[in-house]
Structure 1
Amino acid sequence: MTHRIQCSIKAPPRSGLTRDQLWEAEDKGLIKCWEVGRERAAKFPDLSKRCLAGELPVLGWKGGVSRSLKKRDKFGSLKYLAQWQGLRGEDLDIDLTQERVMTCSRTKMVVTFTPDRSKYFNQPSEMEA
């Protein structure tokens, strides 16, 4: 099994794949999340600029922050990280075995993106906090 998922920003979007091929394959849906980020960057250039400035805006996956919370750190999904890389117009590059810690440039919240779902699964989302 591959532990690192990579895809060049120059690669054309994939098409004609089944749900299982998109979400259940070896990449765990990260390529699809990244492709969605690329699409959203074209539709929402302001969102893309915020990501390029180091913000971690609220997206469809756990990991984004809209404001500072009392607890200054939280966990996020690798799917969020993949979409964020797409929004920034970057190559997809995620190691499925590693955590990646990032600080939101706007809120200063520290987010640890992790392959361990249990760390963020029962954590309140931004919408609930």
Structure 2
Amino acid sequence: MTQRIHRSIDTPLRTGLNRDELWEGPDKGLIKCWEIGRQRAARFPELAQQCRAGELPVLGWKGGVSRSLKKLEKYGSLKYLAQWQGLRGEDLEVDLSEEQALTCSRTRMVVTFTPDRSKYFNQMAETDVQE
């Protein structure tokens, strides 16, 4: 069964919600992550441009890449994907039941965004070291 979370980029940011409504609702916090991405795009235009160029920069959720690793594949959080879409100025479009793979245009790393938290918590953490 599809569990698609969709919001139009034209939708105003939500206000007046408590922590449980923002993070524990049926969308699992993806709408809030996307809204944070939209806000960060306004504050950090260079970061937004990197995302629009297809880069997967390091953000607050697992999924970003600062450099190529020996293994050119890794897993990331759907929350990263939602924030990245917001940074790009796109509609929120995430399916809670499916994985989605993206290739970073800068590092060529393939990141598979997954609802299975064990896949990205069990991989080695990458530090944000620029080469």
What's the TM-score once normalised by structure 2's chain length?
0.95
1:65 aligned partner:
65
Letter in 1 for 2:63: G
1:81 aligned partner:
81
> Aligned Cα RMSD in Å?
1.5
Q: Using the alignment, how far apart are the partners of 1:90 and 1:99 within structure 2?
A: 19
How far did 1:125 drift? Answer: 2.5
Q: Is the 8 A contact 1:4 1:95 kept in 2?
A: yes
Point out 4+ residue stretches in structure 1 off by more than 3 angstroms.
none
Letter in 2 for 1:86: G
Query: How many residues align structurally?
Result: 129
Query: Structure 1's 128 and 38: CA in aligned 2 closer, same or farther, altered over 3 A?
Result: closer
Query: Structure 1's 10 and 55: CA in aligned 2 closer, same or farther, altered over 3 A?
Result: same
Query: Structure 1's 96 and 80: CA in aligned 2 closer, same or farther, altered over 3 A?
Result: same
Q: Using the alignment, how far apart are the partners of 1:88 and 1:111 within structure 2?
A: 17
Q: Using the alignment, how far apart are the partners of 1:7 and 1:38 within structure 2?
A: 12
For structure 2, the 5+ residue unaligned runs are none
Q: Is the 8 A contact 1:73 1:111 kept in 2?
A: yes
- Of all paired residues, the percent bearing the same amino acid is 73
Q: Is the 8 A contact 1:58 1:126 kept in 2?
A: no
Q: Is the 8 A contact 1:56 1:64 kept in 2?
A: yes
Q: Using the alignment, how far apart are the partners of 1:83 and 1:2 within structure 2?
A: 21
2:25 aligned partner:
25
